[in-house]
Chains A and B, each alone.
Chain A
Amino acid sequence: MTSPDITRRGLVAAGGGMAAAAGLPLLLAPPVQAQSKTLTLLNVSYDATRELYKEINVAFSAFWKARTGEFLDIKQSHGGSGKQARAVIDGLQADVVTLALAGDIDEIAARAKLLPANWQSRLPINSTPYTSTIVLLVRKGNPKAIRDWADLVKPGVGVIVSNPKTSGGARWAYLAAYAYGQSKGGQAAARAYITKLFRNVPVLGAGARDATTTFAQRGIGDVLLAWENEAFLTIHEFGPNFDIVYPSSSILAEPPLALLDKNVDRHKTRVVATGYLNFLYSPQAQDIIARHHYRPRNAASAAKYAANLKPIAMVTIDQAFGGWKKAQATHFAEGGLFDQIYKPA
């Protein structure tokens, strides 16, 4: 039996080797700069806004530094909108939420009471500084000749969309499709249409990004029901192997934002969080928003980037579904219409 000394040396040497190997890449990294007063803000957002907020955060940090002299460190978290709302309800310490739809922020207000129920009236235009819509992204040359919603339910068409339970974009997509069905003959026609549509869906991703990578990177399916900005981003990122098809009508998607009162008061970030949300309405932010293929509220920005914003007929959730609360309860709640019509393949 070897002596304990050798044992210890062996352990130490091996442990040291492990630590050295693990720590090696750290040496390549520049040292972290010690900053004096830095405010931290956490923006919990949905999947499709990664690139948008990267740019907004840089612009706002500079704006805030110039105005107050304070350094800002804006942290981001992205994922399916419903999943993100769930995390905030479970205690993710967001100062602001910028989610895909009002229903998810309503959930936060109802379950975690982090903000008042009337949150949506606190900021201009329903707390939505920009809108977006759902479009169809098809493969180059549109081999399956997909022109409108009716073409999606044809046999042999693979439709890629994420799970409406976890993804905000998918809920908008579902409602856009349902509204099309309604326009063709009321509830019965809509239900028949949406049932057939989801029969053509081979796989449901958790968030918009899952669906996009399934379609663009893994090459599955013939058409992606995508956020308008996500469709443009896909072409930008994956090259011109895709075409965007604007259907005859779609839905006016309003992704809202809100400050979480209880959290900002605990973090003492109310002032900067308010500044951040208001900044999104400024001409500078509205231009950034338009450049990322969202539809800005500011008329000047919209005019400047008119080439990005093809006109399209859009129904609103209030007209077609009587608001989010009703839509959520009818379609996406446990046992709702989506649960009834969707049978995983």
Chain B
Amino acid sequence: MSPAARPISSVRLPGVAFALVAASAIVMAALVLLPLFVVFRDAFDKGIGKYLAAVSDPDAVSAMKLTLLVAGIAVPLNAIFGIAAAWCIAKFEFRGKGVLLTLIDLPFSMSPVVSGLVWVLLFGAQGWFGTWLIDHDIKIIFATTGLVLATILVTFPFVARELIPLMQDQGADEEAAALTLGASGFTTFWKITLPNIRWALLYGVLLCNARAMGEFGAVSVVSGHIRGLTTTLPLHVEVLYNDYDFVGAFATASLLASLGLVTLVLKTGLEWRHAGELAANRKH
């Protein structure tokens, strides 16, 4: 699909290549594997019983449910948004396209703290809509809604960014053909567009999901840190760590790490099986 993605490996520089590979392997081991090992070692430091007790603690369970709920809302919404944004950017020409692209990238360049704080400034009790929300007894900040909003804002580029280069690469020819042959807009999307982008979409969703579950900064601002109510897994890790409950903190961290590892395996599988269909991304 994209010849630009291939050739580098065919150039042979044995000595340099070996040194580079060895260097990256060492760095990876020190920066990634070692911390991961420490997380699991400390989680099981006091034995499996303590570990199970820590992960089945009601606050931990509620943090897990909240994390899944928040990701479960934020990720599908961002998938829909991502497809819509990528669709209109890749398949149509219009003024302000550059602005839209920049806006989509904004969360990448913005500190997550800001992504959380904007919601406090809008919906906090002293914020723009604060009084109205209080009068109508609607809770956004320091409640699940706020956590979802903060997570959406932080993770919304992931799906769109995966899809845009691929869809631009594919062009609109197939859709045009389908429409010419009388297919409806929805049929065209369902039978042509979606199948063409499915692996990239799944890949984007995985990345989005990983970030949504792991997000700390933005949700920390809007959480209020109420145990068992508004602490997601990453926040719960911090709470336990500050409680000096290191086994609990690392046990909870190991759950997060496991979620990350599952994502990684799925992602690697995707890359391995569908390299061609994801390849358009490599150019960007």
Contact = CB atoms under 8 A, between A and B. Distances in A.
B226 A77 contact: yes
Contacts of A14: 202, 266
Contacts of B137: 266
Contact of A213 (B196, B241, B255, B263): B241
Among B65, B206, B224, B228, max chain A CB count under 10 A is at B224
Contacts of A76: 226-227
Interface stretch (A26-34, A115-123, A284-292, A321-329): A26-34
Contacts of A210: 242
B259 A21 contact: yes
B226 A91 contact: no
Chain B interface helix/strand/loop/mixed: helix
A32 B52 CA distance: 16
Contacts, number: 109
Interface residues of A, number: 45
A44 B224 CA distance: 9
B3 interface: no
Among A25, A89, A91, A112, max chain B CB count under 10 A is at A91
A76 B255 CA distance: 23
Nearest to A208: B242
B159 to A, nearest CB: 13
Interface stretch (A4-12, A60-68, A130-138): A4-12
A30 B56 contact: yes
B55 interface: yes
B68 A7 contact: no
A237 B124 contact: no
Interface string B93-130: 00000000000000000000000000010011111001
Nearest to B243: A50
B242 A87 contact: no
Nearest to B196: A1
Contact of A91 (B52, B61, B68, B141): B141
A209 interface: yes
A85 to B, nearest CB: 12
B126 A89 contact: yes
Nearest to A73: B228
Contacts of A10: 198, 202
Interface of B: 52, 55-56, 58, 60-61, 64-65, 68, 120, 123-127, 130, 133-134, 137, 139, 141-142, 190-191, 194-196, 198, 202, 206, 209, 213, 224-229, 239, 241-244, 255, 258-259, 262-263, 266
The 4 closest A-B pairs by CB, nearest first: A91-B125, A90-B124, A21-B262, A29-B61
30 contacts: A1-B196, A4-B191, A7-B198, A11-B202, A14-B266, A17-B262, A18-B263, A21-B259, A26-B65, A28-B56, A29-B55, A32-B61, A44-B224, A47-B242, A50-B242, A51-B243, A75-B227, A75-B228, A77-B227, A79-B225, A87-B142, A87-B224, A90-B124, A91-B139, A91-B142, A92-B142, A93-B139, A207-B242, A213-B241, A213-B242
